[in-house]
Chains A and B, each alone.
Chain A
Amino acid sequence: MVRLSYPIAMEIAGNTAMWTRPDSGDCPVSYPAPTYSAVKAIFESVAWGPGVEIIPTKVELCAPIQYHSYCTNYGGPLRSTKSIKEGNNYQLYATVLIDVCYRLYAEVVPYKDKSRLPESAVQWDKKTTSPGHAYQSIFNRRLKRGQCYSIPTLGWKEFTPSYFGEFRDTTQVLSDALPIVIPSMLRRVFAKGYGSPVSYVYDNDLVIRNGVLEYPQRSENYAQ
């Protein structure tokens, strides 16, 4: 029997992380835990499966939440004309997380909408009887070897992980952590999948309980 979903999991830790809260605008502040789309992208950076969809299910916090003020000087071409003329940098003020560690969980299901997939992906999909199972095996193999498609990041590109891989025995979930209420959390920016236009989707009234954030299940992710 072909199963519809296959579980995958990994651990990621690092010195700095930024899960940007869109409601914080030009001075971004981080959510205490990675967003749904960030978790999805971390899994995809280890192995990107053309015919499958990764659906993050939950994240476990394994290090206390510590916020930190972070400032960068941007001197690139996307500054205001006045700043460029006067040779001024644009200072980006952010509130990031430091010393983070998470255990990420997801399910792998066959891709629902294959119309926008590139040709190579369609070919791969045709040859695979159970894309979810194939992806799970490939993912676990790569994770064990420390191999990745692109280096996973903790939100922003400059925040590279100090560790990513299988669960470590020394890591402990913060099961005694007090609840954290998140009234609105960004779920996805490109909600309609690969190659779709910007379409923000938010999850509401989430709570990180006993160090675990569970992403609400939405029917649109699963193949019918």
Chain B
Amino acid sequence: MLNELYSLSTAMKSKGISAKEWHREYKSLPKVTAKSPCIRIWLAQDGSICGLESISAELAQSLRKYGNNQGTFPAFNIAPLYRITEEEQLTELEQIEKGTIPLDLDKIKSWCVHDNWKGSIVKKVDRSLHTIPQTLSGLIGNQEQPEGRLISKLIQLASGFRNEPDKSFKSALEKCVFAKLQKQEDIGTLLTVLFHKGNPKKEHNDDTGSISVVLDLFDWQQYGYPVTSQHFTEWLNDMLLKSSSRSASQPSKDVERDAFGIPFINPDEPMPSVKLSGFEVTLRSMFNGQPCQYRYEQIDDGSYPIAMENRSLIKKSLEWAADLEREGITWRKIDKSEIVFAYPSKLLEISPKFVSIFGSGQAENSARAEARFENIAKDFIRTLRGLLPEETPKFIQIFTIRKLDKARSKVIFTRNCSPDQLIQAAEDWQAGCGNIPETELGKRETPFPLQVARIVNNVWKQNGELAQGQTAVERMKYYQGMELLLDPMQENMIGNYLHVTLTHSSGLVSYIGNWVHGGSSCKSKTEEKALEKLKNEAALLLDVLGLLLYKRGERKEKYMENMAYLVGQLLKISDELHTLYCKVVRGGDVPPQLAGSALFAAAGERPYQTIAQLSLRMNPYITWAKHYRFKNISTKDEESWRARWYLNLYEDAANKLLPAMTDSTRFNDFEKAQLFIGYLASFPRRGSSVTVADESDNDNNVGGANYEQ
């Protein structure tokens, strides 16, 4: 990840962009929501707790806490004081919180039975009140400024809590809660601190709940700002950064220069971590707790020389790139634990949406028209082409980080490509997705590269439903869609994706083909919506198939003459003719499975035998159509010219197929893809042998003389 980010840090430096730097152990607070509030605990001069209140999400966002997994200060996590699991108590508690029933303090006290502060929580809170503040105090030293005196006072008050019944932090908190409840003040916050709504099925130790709290001094006015203020947070950060630079001042004896060529001074501390959307990543780690991670007897930051200055620059550049403001421009979340980054080697005043070309975000999805690949690619290409030569970046760095477990994250995809290459890739992508003939599946929409994995991985049942097992199918990863966009693919990789896609989507093609060819009308709005959704999925699937064929050099103009495509068309013609027959002869009673659709799966495996079987099956319909075409009927959907048209198409396809097909003909995956496309593609508008308009033609040989059966 460091190599990828280094170019960004260089670009930021040259553009004069300086992102705010935060000390590596001064971390932001958890996101505040209605369900997970952050509670400010006011400490009085006598060491007691004199107030509790919930702070706003905005304020919480500007605050930080110093520490590590063992404890933090001045904000830390506690557990609610008691746990309740009984149904009756839980219901009553919710009603009190909503204000539908009044608070009965005696009853509330009677519920305080199951102490929720287990050993580990007590220890962690103890570390957060004593050990961590002492470390913090040691780092910043004695500061004469008001902020320095404020934090010293807070540390002094926090250290006053002891693990003794009347002097503990828990008892002080409980005392305050009951005093406030007595006064009926801010009941919701107080009850959140007091009770954890437990799950009776879970072990108490695994179900204690957690609340984020932050300590502050009630009499802060004399110091100018409270601890819970942006001003104080920034002051403390400056102090911590100063302390870091003081401690790392000894040049290393073994390594003169770091990995990026600047003089190496060993900071002797782990690499910093950065909080991204949804997870936190450490820039680089080789953890000494796992002896197998040692390399040449080196571990932790000793195994990779990188100077403090570069650490800081790289951390800042990742924070800058991952900023919420730049979502859709430099980063995008593609999965719950995966993020893609893209940025140019030269930063621009108006930056094109680099990552949008890979996939659209949720916000953009709501405005679907704007979020289409075609529009985004057009915008992107126009912006890049409009740049002056001196502004044009040399390359665009693209990489994906995936969180693998609690501690580790991995770069799973990394590329740098020139703007021209990216433009070319986007244009090829559009051309590839358009490598299919017209269909009756609605308006064509080019899928985004990050959408391809979902299309490939979706397993469809024969009834048009998604087969959703306990574990999601992940034959193709999201980033592989980006590979498909950017890389010249090897034939075996294309073959692999194609094989997976065909295996997974056979059910959808057969189902949607049967429905569309059968002309079934939807019985309700819900059914209509479901059909539209399926049509959309099938259209996207065909785009992917077209793209994979395009990547292999198979163009629609050529493959539409191929045997596999024609077999698909023959099945479609059979479906349509069967439907027409049912509408005219059986009064619209179309069977649930049509003649072509029933043989769709078999056609992919044994085409010759399937066509033979289809001929037998179609025999009565063809015989009927030969007579019907002369009836000159023009009732809607029962027009006699349709019979002639279908017969002509059938004959045309059969004539082309007969000489090419033998008993041993088998389709490979590329041909199967053509079969799928052929089955869902529209009929040619006007073929050389198709004479739709001339209904007066009485030549009985048309549609019956050659190989249609």
Contacts and interface: CB of A to CB of B under 8 A. Distances in A.
Contacts of B417: 178
B261 interface: yes
A93 B410 CA distance: 8
B395 A181 contact: yes
Interface stretch (B16-24, B282-290, B621-629): B282-290
Interface residues of A, number: 37
Contacts of B1: 23-24
Given A21-B3, A198-B296, A200-B305, A184 B490 contact: no
A202 B286 CA distance: 19
Contact of B298 (A21, A180, A186, A198): A198
A44 interface: no
Closest 5 CB pairs of A and B: A27-B410, A78-B292, A23-B2, A25-B284, A78-B291
B488 interface: yes
A182 B293 CA distance: 24
A29 interface: yes
B408 interface: yes
Interface stretch (A61-69, A107-115, A142-150): A61-69
B259 A95 contact: no
A183 B3 contact: yes
B421 A178 contact: yes
A79 B303 contact: no
A23 B416 CA distance: 17
A197 B254 CA distance: 9
A22 B395 CA distance: 23
A184 B292 CA distance: 25
19 contacts: A23-B304, A24-B1, A24-B410, A25-B284, A25-B286, A26-B286, A26-B290, A80-B290, A92-B292, A93-B408, A95-B412, A95-B414, A184-B260, A184-B261, A197-B254, A198-B298, A200-B305, A202-B257, A202-B258
Given A95-B412, A178-B418, A179-B418, A26 B260 contact: no
Contacts of A66: 487, 490, 493
A199 interface: yes
Contacts of B282: 25
A22 B303 contact: yes
Interface string A83-94: 000000010110
Taking each of A26, A67, A76, A204, which has the highest tally of chain B beta carbons within 10 Å of its own beta carbon?
Answer: A26
A163 interface: no
A186 B305 CA distance: 11
B255 interface: yes
B293 A29 contact: no
A15 to B, nearest CB: 12
A154 B409 CA distance: 24
B411 interface: yes
Given A29-B414, A64-B488, A95-B411, 10 more contacts: A22-B303, A23-B284, A24-B284, A26-B293, A99-B490, A181-B345, A182-B3, A186-B259, A198-B296, A200-B259
A190 to B, nearest CB: 8
B413 A22 contact: no
A198 B254 contact: yes
Contact of A76 (B284, B287, B292, B488): B292
Interface string B1-20: 11100110010000000000
Nearest to A186: B259
Contact of A26 (B287, B412, B488, B490): B287
A200 B487 contact: no
A74 interface: yes
Nearest to B271: A25
Contact of A95 (B254, B345, B410): B410
A202 B411 contact: no
A27 B7 contact: no
A197 B287 CA distance: 22
B259 A202 contact: yes
Contacts of B257: 202
Contact of B304 (A22, A27, A79): A22
A189 interface: yes
Contacts of A189: 296
Nearest to B304: A22
A193 to B, nearest CB: 15
A24 B411 CA distance: 8
Contact of B255 (A26, A67, A69, A199): A199
B410 A184 contact: no
Contacts of B297: 198
Contacts of A74: 292
Interface of A: 21-27, 29, 64, 66-67, 69, 74, 76, 78-80, 90, 92-93, 95, 99, 178-184, 186, 189, 197-200, 202, 204
B487 A64 contact: yes
Nearest to A28: B410
Contacts of B412: 67, 69, 95
A204 B260 CA distance: 6
Interface in B240-280: 254-255, 257-261, 271
Would you call the interface of chain B mostly helix, strand, loop, or mixed? loop
B127 interface: no
Contacts of A76: 292
A69 B402 CA distance: 12
Taking each of A64, A183, A186, which has the highest tally of chain B beta carbons within 10 Å of its own beta carbon?
Answer: A183
B291 A27 contact: no
Contact of B395 (A23, A24, A92, A179): A179
A10 B355 CA distance: 41
Contacts of A186: 259
A178 B487 CA distance: 11
A23 B271 CA distance: 11
Interface in B294-316: 294-298, 303-306
A74 B290 CA distance: 11
A70 B394 CA distance: 31
Nearest to B298: A198
A25 B285 contact: yes
A204 B261 contact: yes
Contacts of B418: 178-179
A209 to B, nearest CB: 12
A183 B261 CA distance: 10
Given A29-B411, A204-B260, A90 B292 contact: yes
Interface string B409-431: 11111101110010000000000
A182 B332 CA distance: 24
Contacts of B254: 197-199
Taking each of A92, A184, A197, which has the highest tally of chain B beta carbons within 10 Å of its own beta carbon?
Answer: A184
B168 to A, nearest CB: 31
A79 B292 contact: yes
A181 B296 contact: no
Nearest to B411: A29
A90 B290 contact: yes
Interface string B385-422: 00000000011000000001001111111101110010
A27 B490 contact: no
B291 A93 contact: no
B672 to A, nearest CB: 25
B292 A202 contact: no
A25 B260 contact: no
A58 B418 CA distance: 23
B261 A202 contact: yes
B461 interface: no
B255 A27 contact: no
Contacts of A79: 290-292
A119 to B, nearest CB: 26
B454 interface: no
Contact of A181 (B259, B407, B416, B487): B416
Contacts of A178: 417-418, 421
Contacts of B404: 27, 93
B204 interface: no
Contacts of A181: 7, 345, 394-395, 416
A90 B407 CA distance: 13
B477 interface: yes
A183 B291 CA distance: 29
Given A24-B411, A29-B414, A202 B290 contact: no
